[in-house]
A and B are shown apart, each in its own frame.
Chain A
Amino acid sequence: MMGILRKTVSVAAAACLLLASSAWAETIKVGAVLAVTGPASFLGGPEANTLEMLVEEVNAKGGINGRKVELFLKDTAGSPEKAISMAKQLLEEQQVVAVLGPSTSGETMSLKKIFEDAKTPLISCAAAEAIVDPVASYVFKTPQNDSYAARKIFMEMNKLGISKIAVLVDNSGFGKAGREQILKIAPEYKIEVVEAEVYDAKATDLSAAVAKIKANPAIQGVINWSVVPAQSIVVKNIRQAGWKVPIFQSHGFGNIKYVDAAGAAAEGVIFPAGRLLMADQLPDGHPQKALLVKYVKDYESKYKETASTFGGHGYDAFMIFEKAVTVAGPDKDKVRAAIEGLKNLPGTGGVYNFSATDHNGLTLDAFEMMTVKDGKFVPYIGR
């Protein structure tokens, strides 16, 4: 019986909470479900920081069309079940105009149907192509397509005369999507994937896996596709094995911390990336230049850490939301339609051109090939 009493008390407490739920008037409510902690925190962390910074900035300027923006940020820890619970909460309880995030593709896929049913725009910060292909009317994404990154890498390989490669990917959603695209597109560029391995995202040493692929003398190049610290470990292990093979990384390498972590081993790694990493080296007239320089400066001075392309995905999500609301007002359906109408909109990931059939809005051009020289990112200019 004790138990029942306690239960009653806790339920009564819940009921009190519910009565106290506050009613905000006149603000534009936007939700965010990001993996601020947990295994994908390297994505969600910078994204959450960026969103908080941008909302502050917009509100300091008087909000959107004179109305303040209120951000409801939820930490999903990268798990779909929490993302589902929290997204439903944002949709019904806070009745947000749109939701930004989630950070990972698995979470986004599990939310797709919920947002279609709720007729609310979801602007995902996850990269997988499956999010927008096939198109769901209310689901958008900001990161560049993985296939563009793969194509960029293959084009470079063709120039270098590399035709037999090994592919290493991590077992996160990013690695999974990357492997699918690589295996699908490689034949178009006459490239043969000789060895492919999937390693654990938490792997701390990959020398055994490297030894295995190194033992295959046919391999002329290695692609590593991951977003985790293991991508620094892979390059180190390859170089420590005394292997001089050209190493290509995915756009997940776009955080200088991974270069620092890999130290001398990162020299010469070639990878595609958004222009955020070369903001100050862009020509003055470039449409993305002003915005990139400002974002990097603001972010770094506020959070005392280097800006990464991951935070940029959050930036783009908020910017798209802001632009659409400015045009259409805080109405879910109008916002959705307004996003599809956004053209020539520069963001950190590239210049966005949305349409009813393209809910990513970026092209191959969003990527530049980059390399590492003396511990810094520089544009790759071929050999």
Chain B
Amino acid sequence: MTVELFIQYLVAGITYGSIYAIVAIGFNIIYNTTGIINFAQGEFVMLGGMLAITFLHFLPLPLAIAVAVLCTMAIGAAIEILFIRWLHNPGVLRLVIITVGISILIREAALHIWGDNVHSLPYFVGNEVSTIAVLGARVSPQVLWVIGACGLMVLFLNVFFQMTSVGREMRACAANRTAAVLCGIDTRNMVTLSFVLSAGIGAVAGAVMSPITYTQYDIGTGLAIKGFTVAILGGLGNSLGAVAAGLLLGVIEAFSVSVVPLAFQDAISIALLLVILFVRPHGLFGSSAAGLKEF
């Protein structure tokens, strides 16, 4: 393998990987406050892209994306308030099935609103054929936007959870809900906030990736499955684990092209993940002490 090809695979892998990581972090934020896997996470990504494309008819690009992200956050909050908040002491599986239902409904609504065609935002810089050279390999500048945006979001979330008081309260809520309540934290609002945050980062990812991957009403399911895989592999609730696992999965997928037929790519990468899971039942970076929320 030449150096050029190696870099090309690596960049491709990091691009997919950072998208997977963002979706996985979205899973983690909600998992930490509620213990559930929100299957509608992929739909947030789709909505971010679709809404930005729609607003682009009226607004300049940065503003369209900003409004789309805000709208998706509002939708995230609405989902929590309408379907989750008022349930008393619900079982995990019950909530998970509700999110499966929500994800199906959002997808079908999107199908009837935007149709089944692909839509996309324009390239932020240049167009479909512009490339820049990275160590001898050639990539689209949008790839840097995706990687950059995902990196910034991870940084922002870290600062948010470590430095701000709201972030700390959310972490407290994740660590021990009863204790958090005793400390006077309104855990219900924290749950709403976790939906808003997940929806927001999903929507940002959906907008920046749209020029590369396109946005179609049904992209959410595939992303949710990949994101779930990554969240589990990294250890549920562990956001840095998710970043590492996301990049790992992306890079495995990209490099697997050189050894196995592309058609078997998913089978190979998932099989590899299963093996990892059997060896480390709590994910690569999770610990058994983390208080796994059971069904």
Contacts and interface: CB of A to CB of B under 8 A. Distances in A.
The answer on A and B forming one complex is yes
Interface of A: 37, 39, 41-42, 45, 171, 197-200, 202, 204-205, 207-209, 211-212, 215, 229, 232-233, 236, 239-242, 257-258, 261-266, 305
A263 B139 contact: no
Interface string B203-217: 000000100111010
A240 B138 contact: yes
A263 B127 contact: yes
B129 interface: yes
Contacts of A233: 213-214
Contacts of B117: 42, 257, 305
B128 interface: yes
A212 B257 contact: yes
Given A212-B258, A240-B129, A200 B266 contact: yes
Given A39-B218, A205-B213, A305-B117, 17 more contacts: A42-B117, A171-B263, A197-B261, A198-B261, A199-B262, A200-B263, A205-B15, A208-B13, A211-B8, A229-B214, A232-B118, A236-B129, A239-B128, A240-B140, A242-B131, A262-B128, A265-B129
A370 B240 CA distance: 50
Contacts of B129: 236, 239-240, 263-265
Given A208-B9, A208-B12, A211-B8, A261 B131 contact: no
B214 A232 contact: yes
Nearest to B15: A205
Contacts of A209: 257, 262
A194 B160 CA distance: 52
Interface residues of B, number: 42
A6 B270 CA distance: 42
A261 B120 contact: yes
B8 A241 contact: yes
Contacts, number: 106
Given A197-B261, A198-B263, A212-B257, A257 B118 contact: yes
Nearest to A171: B263
A204 B213 contact: yes
A239 B131 CA distance: 8
Interface in B266-283: 266
Nearest to B146: A205
Interface in B244-295: 253-255, 257-258, 261-263, 265-266
B5 interface: yes
A314 to B, nearest CB: 15
Given A233-B213, A263-B128, A264-B128, A205 B118 contact: no
A333 B274 CA distance: 55
Given A198-B262, A211-B9, A240 B139 contact: yes
Given A199-B263, A232-B118, A240-B139, A205 B16 contact: yes
Sorted nearest first, the 6 A-B pairs with minimum C-beta distance are: A204-B213, A263-B128, A211-B8, A198-B263, A242-B138, A265-B128
9 contacts: A205-B212, A207-B12, A208-B254, A211-B12, A211-B257, A212-B257, A212-B258, A240-B138, A257-B118
A229 B130 CA distance: 20
B116 interface: yes
A240 B131 contact: yes
A207 B139 contact: yes
Nearest to A42: B116
Contacts of A240: 128-131, 138-140
Nearest to B140: A240
Nearest to B16: A205
A316 to B, nearest CB: 22
A27 to B, nearest CB: 29
Interface string B1-18: 010010011011101100
Contacts of A263: 127-129
Contacts of B101: none
